[in-house]
Amino acid sequence: MLRFIPILLLLSLLAGCTPVQPVLDATQPVDMIAFGSCANQNRPQPIWEAVLANDPDLFVFLGDNVYADTDDMDVLRAAYARLAAQPGFHQLRSRVPVVATWDDHDYGFNDIGAEHVAKQGSKEVFLDFFGEPVASERRTRAGGIYTSYVLGPPGRRVQVILLDTRWDRSPLTRVSDAEYDARRRENVGPYTSTSDPDARLLGEDQWQWLAVQLQQPAEVRIIATSIPFAQEGTGWEIWANFPAERRRLLDLIAAGETAGVLFITGDTHRAQFSRLATDAPYPLWEVNSSGLTENVDPERVAPDANRVGDYFVGDNFGLIRIDWSLPDPVISLEIRGDDDSLKLRHELRLSDLRAPA
């Protein structure tokens, strides 16, 4: 049950106002980024205490930030008001800059894409809640909520790219009911890769924008996408369902000789690491953190051909730690539970995130 929230604050949230949060200072060094997805506003959220215990420089919401599943903007605002009323989240926003993208349940309905009839309203409510400035290009462009930030001084710059995988996404390709019945025995979902050459995950405007972003000076580039990029064979929502779109992003990274790329993703209700090495300019690592409150049945975890190590099912968040003090900085990828216990960890060197000379 939600704790008490002052009535004036609740009314202001329902009206679309945003509580005060720290300003994101792009000049300050960044060495710890926390992130997560899938936070049901109607459930207790003790995990924020664990997030705050790590004193991150930034928190990135990867989508399903609330579960509204609606085209009624009053219902959507009320869902965000319940999130704001969570004591831990309220404390997080008072201490840590928070940036966000969305996924299906806070954008519209389960697995929905470009066909969502109320997406402009969802966009306005989302941007109001996360305190986007009036003149922000996220508000003024006639399209999705994608954006990016470059944080830290030269030599220690971290670029955070937030993609929008909903606004322009074509319909998913679904297998037959008979095939899905067979897939269920292997915990594989109902979706498969499309053969439609015109199918898209990102709109052309977002692709042109992304090509420019990948050329911005930065040492580490964190690409935040609500659905997994590196996973294969899950049968659920992943970039591999749109092979031409995934190939396009891999080609952009290769053509621009873009180094330092890491992916952070959500949606799956489990946590894991994946590594995409085939036809990639260098091995691309993904930290999939899901969920802050939502978890799949441990007996129903989908397979992933690119999974590295184990997976974790339980409330979790991700951390990326960067040790800039070394000539070849160490990057630690972590999944932590709601008691801040370490569940999964993998260590990289910055030099691992570039094409061979």
pLDDT value, residue 151 = 98
| Cα–Cα nearest to 149, from 219, 63, 213, 228 | 213
Q: With respect to residue 208, please indicate whether it lies within any of the assigned structural domains.
A: yes
Q: With respect to residue 8, please indicate whether it lies within any of the assigned structural domains.
A: no
DSSP type of residue 145: -
Return the structure tokens found at 137: 């290009």
Q: With respect to residue 7, please indicate whether it lies within any of the assigned structural domains.
A: no
182 CB-side CA count, 13 A: 4
Count how many domains the chain has.
1
CA–CA separation, 159 and 64 (whole Å): 22
What percent of the chain has a predicted confidence (pLDDT) above 70? 94
Q: With respect to residue 291, please indicate whether it lies within any of the assigned structural domains.
A: yes
- Decide if pLDDT at 11 tops 70: no
Q: With respect to residue 96, please indicate whether it lies within any of the assigned structural domains.
A: yes
- On whether the CB atoms of residues 35 and 60 are closer than 8 A, the answer is yes
What's the rounded mean pLDDT across residues 9-27? 61
Q: Whose structure tokens read 């397979």?
A: 303
Angle at 292 between CA 288 and CA 295, to 5 degrees: 75
Q: Give the DSSP H/E element, type plus range, for residue 248.
A: helix 243-255
Q: With respect to residue 66, please indicate whether it lies within any of the assigned structural domains.
A: yes
Q: With respect to residue 300, please indicate whether it lies within any of the assigned structural domains.
A: yes
- Decide if pLDDT at 208 tops 50: yes
Whether pTM exceeds 0.85:
yes
CA–CA separation, 298 and 342 (whole Å): 18
Q: Whose structure tokens read 């899901």?
A: 290
- Decide if pLDDT at 79 tops 90: yes
Q: Give the DSSP H/E element, type plus range, for residue 137.
A: helix 137-140
Q: Which domain holds residue 93?
A: 22-352
Q: pLDDT-based confidence at 49, cuts 50/70/90?
A: very high
Q: Which CATH number does the domain housing residue 140 bear?
A: 3.60.21.70
pLDDT value, residue 21 = 79
Q: With respect to residue 189, please indicate whether it lies within any of the assigned structural domains.
A: yes
